[in-house]
Amino acid sequence: MTGQKLDQNSPLIGRFDQSFLIHMIRDFFIILLMVTVLEFALKAGMVYYKFRVHGPSDAQEAAQDLADNVRSIMRNEGGPVAARTVYPILKDNWDGLGYRIAIIPSDVTIRSIEEGFEFTPEGLPRGDWPDTAHASATLAITAEPFCLACHTEAAVGDVLGEVTVRRD
């Protein structure tokens, strides 16, 4: 068999090279697919781990930031009247960050604003939040001396409302 010459027109010529190339390309794409699946699985696992482990503290920090935003609005932006305009903007901004927020005024706030500004403050109601696994935090906003100018029925330390932040 070694003494026979292979016909140059035979379809067997180049068959090994074609077979080898096809196997190499196939193996490359299979390995690429496996690495991609592994990478996505690891990233998903890390996101889930971060959500479960750091979710409550992240929600608490976000609630503190939101409470600070509400205080700043009341101090610098015109108080309860400006809040009607700024609260929806806050809601959109926090939604963009993946949080659902609610700003609920207390009874003393509602009475004070109705008396002093002749409208009923609504804040941002919770709405219909779906029941899912989430990390949430609620933080009370208490009256400080500068608050008493608008919140006439409140005393320093009274709860003027609460903010709730939830990350789904």
- Domain residues for the domain of 163 are 55-167
Could you tell me if residue 7 is inside a domain?
no
Could you tell me if residue 63 is inside a domain?
yes
SS3 of 167, please?
strand
Mean pLDDT of 7-11: 69
Residue-wise burial string across 23-40, b where 16 or more C-beta atoms lie within 10 A, e elsewhere: eeeeeeeeeeeeeeeeee
Could you tell me if residue 33 is inside a domain?
no
How many domains is the chain built from? 1
The DSSP secondary structure of 118-154, one letter per residue, reads SS----B--------S-EEEEEEEEP-GGGGGT-TT-
Cα(134)–Cα(163) distance, rounded to whole angstroms?
16
pLDDT in tens, 80-113: 778 888 888 999 999 998 889 999 999 999 998 8
Could you tell me if residue 16 is inside a domain?
no
29 vs 12, more confident = 29
On whether the pTM is more than 0.75, the answer is: no
Could you tell me if residue 160 is inside a domain?
yes
Residue 22 has pLDDT above 60, yes or no: yes
Could you tell me if residue 9 is inside a domain?
no
Could you tell me if residue 2 is inside a domain?
no
Cα(91)–Cα(102) distance, rounded to whole angstroms?
8
Could you tell me if residue 141 is inside a domain?
yes
